[in-house]
């Protein structure tokens, strides 16, 4: 999973980043609310682990901002504030779960699994079929259909097209695509995104209507 940790205590953040890395997860650390706000606007995460007491923009304000932007990534609060009022306020603001410090690492792992499993099942139920014009993706069967004909895509081509379709009507930068499809955070020298966009375009039919649009200097867009 791609996990964002928002934590300003260096001792705690080092422990969590090391442990979650060893558990097989990709970690991004933000030591302030402002840094978290910036990175949330650039990448998609499976879950956000968030402290409340942060310098500048605190966890409560950050949670409000995330939900105001209609970003529904699960938020698990990790905080030394353990009064019922603090927990209720964060949950009311849009957090999904609350774990008081100190906590056992095994419990953190269990909470992460439970939240992401719940979010993934809900997402799959609502989004089995992704469509744009004559193009449809069945995410349960991993099939791409256009005009009643199945289109054969490689696993990477399928992942790329699905990511674009999941974000239909939204411009995606090459950096966002690299991160979500290939797991690459930063690489300004590679043209792998453009190459694979070309592969996908050559396999789908755009004669009636253009499906994948190039946004010059930015990235790509699928729109109705």
152-175 per-position pLDDT tens digit: 998 889 989 999 998 888 899 988
Does pTM top 0.75 for this prediction? no
Cβ neighbour number for residue 38 with a 10 Å cutoff: 12
DSSP-derived letter for residue 198 is: H
| Helices 59-68 and 84-93, packing angle to 10 deg | 20
CATH of region 2-121, choose from 3.40.50.2300, 3.40.50.12160, 3.20.20.140, 3.40.50.300: 3.40.50.2300
Which tens digit of pLDDT belongs to each residue from 176-198? 888 878 766 666 677 889 999 99
pLDDT at 185: 60
- Banded pLDDT at 85 (limits 50, 70, 90): confident
CATH of region 129-222, choose from 3.40.50.880, 2.30.30.90, 3.40.50.670, 1.10.10.10: 1.10.10.10
pLDDT at 184: 65
Decide if pLDDT at 203 tops 60. yes
Which tens digit of pLDDT belongs to each residue from 94-115? 888 899 998 999 999 999 988 8
Burial of 191 (0-12, 13-18, 19+ CB in 10 A): exposed
Q: Domain ranges in the chain?
A: 2-121, 129-222
Decide if pLDDT at 141 tops 70. yes
Report the alpha-carbon distance of residue 152 to residue 144 in Å, rounded: 7
CB 80 within 8 A of CB 34: no
């Amino acid at each position: 999973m791609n996990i964002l940790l928002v934590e300003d205590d260096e001792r705690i953040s080092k422990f969590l980043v090391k442990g979650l890395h060893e558990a097989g997860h990709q970690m991004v650390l933000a030591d302030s609310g402002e840094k978290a706000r910036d990175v949330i606007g650039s990448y998609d995460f499976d879950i956000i682990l968030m402290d409340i007491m942060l310098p500048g923009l605190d966890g409560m304000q950050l949670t409000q901002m995330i939900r105001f932007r209609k970003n529904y990534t699960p938020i698990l609060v990790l905080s030394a504030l353990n009064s019922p009022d603090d927990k209720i306020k964060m949950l009311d603001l849009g957090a999904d779960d609350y774990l008081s410090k100190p906590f056992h690492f095994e419990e953190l792992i269990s909470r992460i699994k439970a939240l992401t499993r719940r979010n993934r099942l809900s997402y799959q139920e609502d989004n089995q079929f992704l469509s744009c014009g004559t193009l449809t993706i069945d995410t349960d069967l991993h099939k791409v259909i256009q005009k009643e004909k199945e289109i054969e895509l490689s696993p990477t081509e399928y992942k790329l097209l699905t990511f674009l379709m999941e974000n239909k009507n939204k411009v995606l930068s090459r950096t966002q695509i690299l991160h979500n499809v290939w797991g690459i955070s930063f690489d300004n020298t590679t043209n792998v995104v453009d190459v694979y966009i070309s592969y996908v375009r050559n396999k789908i039919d755009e004669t009636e209507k253009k499906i994948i649009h190039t946004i010059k200097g930015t990235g790509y867009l699928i729109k109705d």
